[in-house]
Amino acid sequence: MDPVSMLSTVNLGVPLYMVISFVAIISICLLFSRIQLGLAVSFLFAFYIGYFYNKTLLLKTIEGSIIGTVIYASLGLIIIILAIISFMSSNK
């Protein structure tokens, strides 16, 4: 199955309370000029929704592939590490 047809057949649902809390947290981050924190929150929201909330659907889509799960988790870990490094660097 090619990726385009796989993406067109998947239906992901996000609960309204999660979307409202996401928008509220992002708005607070932007109001206090914490753009890097807002980006980290956006990534964590997408990571949570993409994997933990839709875990069964994702595993069914990648046909239970351990390699797909490891790649997904390691790319997420790399982005979190890069976000931590950018938080610790000075912006001067």
Mean pLDDT, range 43-55, rounded to an integer: 79
Residue ranges per structural domain of the chain: 13-88
Q: What is the reported pLDDT for 6?
A: 65
3-state secondary structure of 14: coil
Q: Does pLDDT of 24 surpass 90? A: yes
- CA-to-CA dists, residue 47 to 19, 31, 52, 80, 83, angstroms: 14, 24, 8, 11, 14
What's the rounded Cα separation, in Å, for the pair 37 and 30? 9
62 against 41, higher pLDDT? 41
89 against 39, higher pLDDT? 39
Q: What is the reported pLDDT for 64?
A: 66
pTM to 2 decimal places: 0.59
